[in-house]
Structure 1
Amino acid sequence: MAVFNPDNFKITVPFYINDFPTVLQTHIDDEKKEEKLDKVQAKLSELQDAMYAHNRYGVLICLQGMDTSGKDSLIREVFKEFNPRGVVVHSFKTPNSSELEHDYLWRHYLALPEKGKFAVFNRTHYENVLVTRVHPEYILNENLPGIEKVEDIPADFWENRFEQINNFEKHISQNGTIVLKFYFHMSKEEQRKRLLRRLEEEEHHWKFSPGDLKERERWDDYMKFYEEAINKTSKPHAPWYVIPADDKEMARYMVAKIIWEEMKQHKDIKEPELDEKVKANFALYRQQLKK
């Protein structure tokens, strides 16, 4: 397998979505990819236990991508070795009536990870600068002052949202939340195959929605707005990684490996040492328990 360097997929220079590959050529079979994933999973599980005991950091994993890009199955496979107490997954749907009574970031603040835990956002606060760009009429549901119709949305509205999101991520990162963001870059042809699979294989029928085809018609718009959002919001404290997503097995390994490499940089994450006085009395405690 070719050496996989996570830095090659971190967005630190202008990102051009049409120039980025949707497949990472590795010449390795799926079984080997799964073996590599298993090894990283074990490391992450141990690290999560230490992080839970350390109780200083939370980790926010943000997953974005077009329908069928593999986010759900990745969550299942990458985090399955975690202690259930250490990871919480939030799948954000269309805001409900209660959520719309608050600003668009409110529900995401509520779902941030506790110290010592991972939170996975399956679709994220970025829906508010992606789906709403393609369908600006959705902004009207937020009942914002001065916006009664789409034409009322000011020219600087989206730039302001990018700034708000950057401030949100900077604020939480400065208060102990490690933020990692992944965009699953899938080709339109691969999406077509996966949608057909949902129609042709009975066990996958439940996944199909006619709405997927409607959104697929706006593919080019989504690509344009993904490119802009990633370029505007990939920061050192909250980097974007673009993951070639046509190969699900490779994408899972890449995400796990990147999380591991990022977390290794936090050298202070370790289980706390017992008080020396307590350790000195271990023999006494053993004797008490044996009685």
Structure 2
Amino acid sequence: MDIEKYKVSSKISLQNSITKEVIEDAEKKLKKVRKKLSKLQDTMYAEGKYSALICLQGMDTSGKDSLIREVFKQFNARGVEVHSFKVPTELELKHDFLWRHYIALPAKGKVGVFNRTHYENVLVTRVHPGYIFGENIPTVKSLDDLNDAFYHDRMKRINEFEQHIASNGTLILKFFLNLSKDEQKNRLLRRLNIPEKNWKFSSGDLKERKLWGQYQDCYEDLLNRTSTDYAPWFVVPADDKPTARLIVADIMHTELKKYNFKEPILAKKDLDKINEFKDQLNNE
């Protein structure tokens, strides 16, 4: 798979980006990549030198939850942590906007998955700027203060945050699940038509859908401003779920294997006595 075609390495236009790609036998191919990823993660955990942060963003119904379920299902549970960020709590609002994300970062050896990420702070709050007032920022006194310069400054802070953690061994891969408006309509209708899926539906989804154009503009701006060598964005066609999952898994495997993780070698004092240890166990 040519993963470079999904990578944001130059200015992109979401309007001109495809939302549907169908790879034949995607589910079968995903099983193979999943096994490779699981082995890779085990070695990364044993080495304990790097951590990996997988960031997932996308419009409602873009398939983030099911992607996490299918891509990470063979990972050792001790080596992966998933965080789904909701509306900030009272405590979180008393800190800077990156605090709750910083304390959720994966430890070395582990893979962290952010289901919705620190980018909500330059996305949802940009479409609904009134949310910012809950942060009680001294310099923000009115909506006039929440202009493009404010959000671009936040993006700069996010770039600095990612550069800092990358320099300390966190491998960052960011995925935007690029869903079409028509496919979102189909998925929302499915939630309404299938009784056991009703719980997934929220009337708020329809309100946000009316703001589709604003969200697309905000996504395009942040993708162009925050895709870097140390924390690249990948725009993944999301209308076909099996294909989207395979693309994300394949990109993860291709990028992570570059670091050539290795299991640690047993200490020499123990290695020299390995046959003695075997004898002790066999003679019990």
Superposition TM-score, scaled by structure 2 size = 0.98
CA contact (8 A) 2:85 2:117 kept: yes
1:157 aligns with 2:188: no
Instruction: Report how many aligned residue pairs link the two structures.
Output: 283
CA contact (8 A) 1:137 1:149 kept: no
1:181 paired residue number: 174
Q: Deviations over 1:123-168 (max 9, x none)?
A: 0000010111111111111100132321233552112101100000
Question: Please, which of 238, 243, 259 is the counterpart of residue 266 of structure 1?
Answer: 259
Q: Unaligned stretches of 5+ in structure 1?
A: none
Q: Unaligned stretches of 5+ in structure 2?
A: none
1:12 paired residue number: 9
Question: Please, which of 284, 288, 291 is the counterpart of residue 280 of structure 2?
Answer: 288
CA contact (8 A) 2:57 2:116 kept: yes
Go from structure 1 to structure 2 and tell me whether the alpha carbon gap of 1:155 and 1:9 turns closer, same or farther (over 3 Å shift).
closer
Q: Deviations over 1:36-92 (max 9, x none)?
A: 101111011111111111001110000000000000000000000000000000000
Distance in structure 2 (CA, Å) of the matches to 1:140 and 1:281: 64
SS in 1 for 2:220: helix
SS in 1 for 2:52: strand
Identity of aligned residues (%): 54
Q: CA RMSD in A?
A: 1.0
SS in 1 for 2:32: helix
SS in 1 for 2:264: coil
Counterpart amino acid of 1:10?
K
2:101 paired residue number: 108
Question: Please, which of 214, 217, 224 is the counterpart of residue 231 of structure 1?
Answer: 224
Superposition TM-score, scaled by structure 1 size = 0.95
Q: CA deviation at 1:203?
A: 1.0
Distance in structure 1 (CA, Å) of the matches to 2:224 and 2:163: 16
SS in 2 for 1:48: helix
Counterpart amino acid of 2:54?
I
Q: CA deviation at 1:274?
A: 1.5
Question: Please, which of 248, 255, 261 is the counterpart of residue 255 of structure 1?
Answer: 248
1:54 paired residue number: 47
Distance in structure 2 (CA, Å) of the matches to 1:123 and 1:117: 19
